Amino acid sequence: MLLTPLALLASRLASAAAARPTRAESKMVLCLHTNTSAAAGYRGALEGWAKAGIKYVEINAALVDEFIKTDTLDAARRILADNGLTCVHGAIGVGGLLEPNPKRAGAIENLKRRLDLFKALGAKKVYTTTGGTTKLTIADYPVIAENMRGVGEVAKTFDMIVSVEFVRSSPYMSTLLTALKVTREAAHPNFGVLFDFYHFWSGLNKFEDMDQIRPGEINHVHFQDVPDRPRELLDNNSRYIPGDGVSPIGPMLRKLAEKGYAGPLSVELFLPKFRDANPYELAREIRQKCEAVMAEAGVL
């Protein structure tokens, strides 16, 4: 009888430990988005980052388009390979894929070309956004879900996954909960959600919304911080290096890990001082700061 309370306590501790994500389950890797060093161009950004020890990159299709105006896609692939870089995600830059619009057929053809491009670069995942200016009605959301299924079917033929990035300024999908709701209605294995730290923390979301994430729903993560100023004054230029702002970076990382996310944390910045900086020096600073907050959160 004296041992019973100890045995009960041991059992409870074991159950609690089993419920927590292990280090392997929560492992994430640092990644850089080419929007961060856009001024350096495709070659300049990637070669500079590689010298700073970056291994994983996310590429904007527009930067590749600019590169192959004077070079080749094979050369773009060689830059990745020669510098030990892996393209883990791609920004397709194709609008009109999700919301009802008369030009969607053309958007689907553009999507196919982009999927071809990123497949050639070795990527398995890409994303689209919910930009636009048209205010939709509640009757339009089943159409959006159906369009998500259509995009998922196209991605399936390329053995790829497309995710949607909810954008804080979007007139129809600016929050995590809306993105989760509609992608669940779409219910396609090749279509999911991209979680962006900036769009989440600067927009109409609250931390508790992350509790609604189900394992496997987040396919990719954009990683940024925001300054201490009214959210109404934040914009794309308000994206800071993680750890330099006021976002609850650690708790958000731990919540993503708890929800089963294990993958790239892609730093995407737009402020001119980042965009125009020396890619090597910038990548060194980003790596030092991000790996510190990742280690503190237990996800490195």
* Predicted confidence (pLDDT) at residue 22 exceeds the cutoff of 50: no
Question: How high is the pLDDT of residue 134?
Answer: 82
Cα gap 139→99, rounded to integer Å: 12
Question: Tokens in use for 37?
Answer: 């060093």
Residue 245 belongs to a domain: yes
Whether residue 255 lies inside any domain: the answer is: yes
Q: Tell me the average pLDDT across 29-48.
A: 98
What pLDDT is recorded for position 26?
59
Number of domains in the chain: 1
The total number of residues shown for the chain amounts to 300
Q: Which residue has the tokens 């999911």?
A: 192
Rounded to an integer, what distance in angstroms lies between the CA atom of residue 137 and that of residue 298?
42
What Cα–Cα distance (Å) separates residue 73 from each residue in 33, 37, 57, 78, 214? Answer: 19, 20, 17, 9, 37
Q: Which of 34, 56, 54 is nearest to 45 (CA)?
A: 34
Residue identified by tokens 């350096």 is: 40
| Residue at 6 is within a domain | no
Range of the domain at 107: 23-297
Q: How confident is the model at residue 131 (pLDDT cuts 50, 70, 90)?
A: confident
CA distances in angstroms from 220 to 88, 131, 197, 266, 275, listed in the order given = 9, 18, 11, 8, 22
Q: 46 lies in a domain?
A: yes
In percent, how much of the chain has pLDDT > 70? 91
pLDDT interval class at 14 (50, 70, 90): very low
Contact predicate 174/204, CB 8 Å: yes
**Average pLDDT, integer, range 28-47:** 98
pLDDT in tens, 144-185: 999 999 999 999 999 999 999 999 999 999 999 999 999 999
164 pairs with which residues across the strands? 128, 193
Q: What is the pLDDT of residues 238-255, one digit of tens each?
A: 999 999 999 999 999 999
167-170: Cβ within 8 A, 24+ apart: 167/129, 167/130, 167/131, 167/196, 167/199, 168/198, 168/199, 168/202, 168/203, 168/204, 169/131, 170/129, 170/130, 170/131, 170/132
The pLDDT confidence band at residue 20, using thresholds 50, 70 and 90, is: very low
Q: What is the DSSP letter of 205?
A: -
Least confident segment among 101-105, 257-261, 274-278, 289-293? 101-105
Residue 132 — very low, low, confident or very high, per pLDDT cuts 50/70/90?
A: confident
17 inside domain: no
As a whole number, the mean pLDDT across the chain is 92
HSE toward the beta carbon, residue 118, CA cutoff 13 A? 30
CA atoms lying within 13 Å on the CB side of residue 255: 18
Q: Has residue 13 been placed in a domain?
A: no
Q: Decide if pLDDT at 13 tops 90.
A: no
Task: Specify the CATH number for the domain of residue 126.
Answer: 3.20.20.150
Residue 256, pLDDT score = 98
> pTM for this one?
0.90
**Residue 145 and residue 188 in contact, taking contact as beta carbons nearer than 8 Å:** no
Contacts of 114 (CB under 8 A, 6+ apart): 61, 90, 92, 93, 94, 126
Q: Per-residue pLDDT averaged across 212-240, rounded?
A: 95
Q: What percent of the chain has pLDDT over 90?
A: 88
Assess if residue 4 is contained within a domain: no
DSSP H helices in 187-278? 197-202, 249-258, 272-275
Predicted confidence at residue 25, as pLDDT, reads: 54
Look at residue 238 in the predicted model and tell me its pLDDT.
Answer: 92
* Contact call for residues 58 and 88 (beta carbons, < 8 A): yes
CA dihedral 56, 290, 198, 63 (to 10 degrees): -30
Residue 2 pLDDT: 42
Q: Give yes or no for a contact between 250 and 290, defined as CB atoms under 8 angstroms apart.
A: no
Least confident residue range of 5-19, 109-123, 126-140: 5-19
Residue 10 maps to a domain? no
Q: Which residues of 63-95 are buried (b: 16+ CB within 10 A; e: fewer)?
A: bbeebeeeeeeeebeebbeebebebbbbbbbbb
